[in-house]
Amino acid sequence: MLDEETFWWLASPRTSSPSALLIRLAKRLRSNNDAVQQNIILRRQFEQAALSDALTGFPQRRWLDQTLPRILQRHLHTSEPLCLAIMDIDHFKRVNDGFGHAAGDGVLVRVGRLVRDNLRPADFAARIGGEELR
């Protein structure tokens, strides 16, 4: 941080330091730009984490709530067929209660993998909560 007096002394044409001031300001700008870029990267990572499920890697309900209306509009506009399927793992609560949440997480991971392995390129899946997948 430069105080105002030092700034004007460095900027003065009477001193040999105007170039030093420009160099110092350029370094400060580069440093600020680097910080801004890092913040943008972190924000994108946080947004991605907020929108995707850690177990299955599928987008979460928030993503679906934001995206599904656009998908519906596109299909209505183009008159292309659209299928929306909702899956529910029967008696999933019994798995969690009887074998623990780690076992329930394992079931979700395996079901997620099974769903992902059977999606066509234009298909997508999302986890909307609990054991439900769309």
This prediction's pTM: 0.59
Confidence (pLDDT) at 33: 87
pLDDT band at 73 (very low <50, low <70, confident <90, very high): very high
Looking at 5, 47, 80, 131, which residue is catalytic?
131
Confidence (pLDDT) at 16: 60
Which tokens belong to 24?
A: 């110092």
Compute how many other C-beta atoms are within 10 angstroms of the C-beta atom of residue 16. 9
Give the model confidence (pLDDT) of 39-69 as tens digits: 899 988 887 777 888 888 899 888 889 899 9
The answer to whether 112 and 127 have CB atoms below 8 angstroms apart is yes
CA distance 75 to 81: 7
Domain 52-133: assigned CATH number: 3.30.70.270
| Higher per-residue confidence, 118 vs 17 | 118
Biggest CA-to-CA distance, the chain:
83
Is residue 131 flagged as an active site residue? Answer: yes
Confidence (pLDDT) at 26: 79
The answer to whether 43 and 108 have CB atoms below 8 angstroms apart is no
Confidence (pLDDT) at 108: 92
Residue 18 has pLDDT above 70, yes or no: no
Q: Given the structure tokens 């209505």, which residue do they identify?
A: 76
Can you list the positions of beta strands (E) in 41-107? 87-88
pLDDT, averaged across the chain: 84
